[in-house]
Amino acid sequence: MKFLDCRGKSCPIPVIETKNFIETEDPTELEVTVDNETSCENVRRFLVSQGFTVTVEGKEDRFAVRGLKKTGETPVVSVKAKRVLVFVSGETMGQGSDELGQILMRSFLYTLKELKPMPWRIIFVNSGVKLAVEGSPYIDTLNELAAQGTDIISCGTCLDYFQIKDKVRTGRISNMYEIESSFLEATNVIKP
């Protein structure tokens, strides 16, 4: 087994270092140590996407993410006919009146449910992450989209900046590596 210690490093560094470690070391079995739940989940998801069977041990400030490469398998890249990515970087839509911008954002998010194909993923960054937290008037709409298969993610660094990571009420927390990868995988990007 090969070991990688990513404690003390904030996202997306643990995922990037895990990626580089796999590319240079080509391990059959590895253990990545991280010190927070967000990094733990991000590394776990990345290893699964690379063809590893993953187990996690630990809690609070030390997590051991262990990966065992599935023999004879290469990472599966899922290709869909259309992958519509929605990128939300603010609390309002457009520039000018914030009041009007909130009305437009509500209408925009509600209307996403009617798109064909449905959005594959919605990414919230900067103050846009406030739309996915407790007290947001958009939680019900976003939960409906998630129930219909849309992957909703919020930037962990942004949530930390606004000190609202513990208030997320829809979707999941992710990192810049997955956000950038999403742009590469998307066939269409919509930005309100």
CATH number at residue 90: 3.40.1260.10
For 96-105, b where at least 16 C-beta lie within 10 A, e where not — what string?
eeeeebeeeb
CB 68 within 8 A of CB 53: yes
Radius of gyration of the chain (CA): 18
Q: Is 77 contained in some domain?
A: no
- 38 sits in which H/E element: helix 37-49
In sequence order, what are the residues at sequence separation of 6 or more whose Cβ sits closer than 8 angstroms to the Cβ of residue 77?
A: none
Tokens 């992710």 correspond to 174
Phi, psi of 163, deg, nearest 5 = 55, 45
Whether residues 126 and 174 share a domain: the answer is yes
pLDDT in tens, the chain (192 residues): 999 999 999 878 999 999 999 999 999 999 999 998 888 998 998 999 899 999 999 977 899 999 999 876 555 554 446 899 999 999 999 999 999 999 999 999 999 988 888 999 999 999 999 999 999 999 999 999 999 999 999 999 999 999 999 999 999 999 999 999 999 999 999 999
CB 62 within 8 A of CB 35: yes
Whether residues 63 and 105 share a domain: the answer is no
Q: Could you give the count of Cα atoms lying within 13 Å of 17 in the half-sphere of its Cβ? A: 18
CB 159 within 8 A of CB 11: no
CATH number for 17: 3.30.110.40
